[in-house]
Structure 1
């Protein structure tokens, strides 16, 4: 039984249960003290009581440090997840877990929006922090409640913050591609013309193109293996063999091969950061508006549909696991359906 004691003008309730640390609370009336004690005892009897007092001594920074060390050694985190969690540590790492309430997290949402972050970015911030909390709850048995995170996410709807990403429909014109290639021929020694055309023909991401290796080229079947292809859950080992359609095989064949091919010999030995720096400069110099290198992948997927390939065939080339995601890439005009379906 709980003990209810009068202390001055207040009432103190104290609960002792085997397997739990003693817990007490002070109230202005005896009725409040009794009601609180009964609630705590009922939660303990039902094994639902979470003693959160120890959370005040653990900061968000300390918990993320543990997450990197304990979970990060077993699973490779993506660059974006690492960057987001480091930002949590740098900007709000001093906050204790006990103070990570729904109100606090909703204030975080408001502050991020005022700073110009999109809804999808804010949602990702909460998702990654939630993965830390969930792991700590399951592995360290910390009495962490995920409801504040869920409440903050729900409040985004009340604040009219959309968590849906804006779908791009931008496709480069033939003239834009030609102008970009001509400009880069004059201002860069890198094989940017071949890289651009390879991107539009293969529908590969820029990091996939720069990681292609000579040892993964099957010249008999005209296929190549993309190592560690992007996957929503599997960060490593997601290797995929894809066909080299259109002119992609010819483009590869004219790349200079090293005298001795090793496991690390790349077909396009160019850094991603170099491409994503050179491409915007060329685009801006030519006055081309709102065009990203990733739009070349969009162009490549759209061309496959226009050539008559079925959705499962396009998915094999593009690497999409969810076929619904391909809808955002298929911006085919109604008049195109009058054309006869042909395959190259």
Structure 2
């Protein structure tokens, strides 16, 4: 709500002090020579606040969306190398669409229009972009705006907070059955890519992500202390896993075993001289086709590994530690696999009470 005060100065002139107060925003004040200008200013400020276009500091009028994205890519993303490539690609789309705009002109309405455009675009696969993929684009710009607000002080409010994300279809959880696992491993043995079989085997044994596996160097595998140290994790935190007997056998069977400690374990076969990370997408796709397995990706191996752990008695907290999740929410999907373990636990508890007189009376 806006208000105007008329101020008489000592020299006889008059000025008009305007103030706008709206819930959730700090008061904004201005001084004008005429009441008309003061009223117009109040209307503009109230309108921009309601539309999510108001930024109190002058910084929002000094920087463009493109400058914000460039700074985020240069200064923030390097802290998370696992996300850097994908997040950069998402943010470059935003830079192409609205990088020329001043931050003061980036409103919730502009972001919502971009969201709708994302949903209508045809991807390289010839299909409409899915709501889940669209949400990744929205999350990328939302995080950038959040850092811009909280750490750089370029904006006072995040216009992304008022933009609704499209509803996603329920996630389809796909797990390999024991028979599918055996068929897949047999198909991987037939592959010409020497990295495919050890990568698939380790994913099924350790539940590591593809990026975590391909980012491993020999210094990360400690055969003496029997640990695997993951530095390139999704959340940017270092994670240490136990080196099991089967995992040790797989590592020692790799073609690069015995290389210097700073070399990657899984290297590209096409660019061996440049020591680039391997890519097995096409090889994995061909292996699943030979094995007659549909609807799976490399990430399915991670889900399958956790399902095997749960069926063998792993608790949710243990699964969270192995997978690198900070909360138990992400591992609740595996809880139904551990019902046999829980039933055995409850039956053991019942056995300790079987001689209780009070319990017999109840039964």
Structure 1 length normalisation: TM-score? 0.71
Whether 1:95 aligns to 2:94 is no
Shift of 1:190: 0.7
Q: 1:284 aligns with which of 275, 286, 289?
A: 289
Which residue number in structure 1 is paired with residue 232 of structure 2? Answer: 228
Name structure 2 gaps, 5 residues minimum. Answer: 8-14, 20-28, 46-53, 122-127, 269-275, 347-363
Task: Write the distance in 2 (CA, Å) between the matches of 1:35 and 1:208.
Answer: 59
Alpha-carbon distance change, 254 to 144 in structure 1, aligned in 2, over 3 angstroms: same
Which residue number in structure 1 is paired with residue 246 of structure 2? Answer: 247
Whether 1:121 aligns to 2:133 is yes
Superposition RMSD in Å = 4.0
Q: Which moved more, 1:166-175 or 1:52-61?
A: 52-61
Which residue number in structure 2 is paired with residue 150 of structure 1? Answer: 161
Q: Write the deviation string for residues 44-99 of structure 1: whole angstroms up to 9, x where unpaired.
A: xxxxx955777566432233224344555777663222222111112222333333
Q: 2:220 aligns with which of 216, 220, 229?
A: 216
Contact 1:59/1:93 (CA < 8 Å) preserved in 2? yes
Alpha-carbon distance change, 23 to 264 in structure 1, aligned in 2, over 3 angstroms: farther
Which residue number in structure 1 is paired with residue 262 of structure 2? Answer: 264
Q: 2:205 aligns with which of 195, 201, 215?
A: 201
Name structure 1 gaps, 5 residues minimum. Answer: 4-12, 42-48
Q: 1:328 aligns with which of 328, 333, 353?
A: 333
Task: Write the distance in 2 (CA, Å) between the matches of 1:24 and 1:111.
Answer: 44
Shift of 1:283: 1.9
Contact 1:52/1:98 (CA < 8 Å) preserved in 2? no
Which residue number in structure 1 is paired with residue 85 of structure 2? Answer: 79
Task: Write the distance in 1 (CA, Å) between the matches of 2:332 and 2:137.
Answer: 26
Which residue number in structure 2 is paired with residue 9 of structure 1? Answer: none
Shift of 1:200: 0.9
Alpha-carbon distance change, 37 to 336 in structure 1, aligned in 2, over 3 angstroms: closer
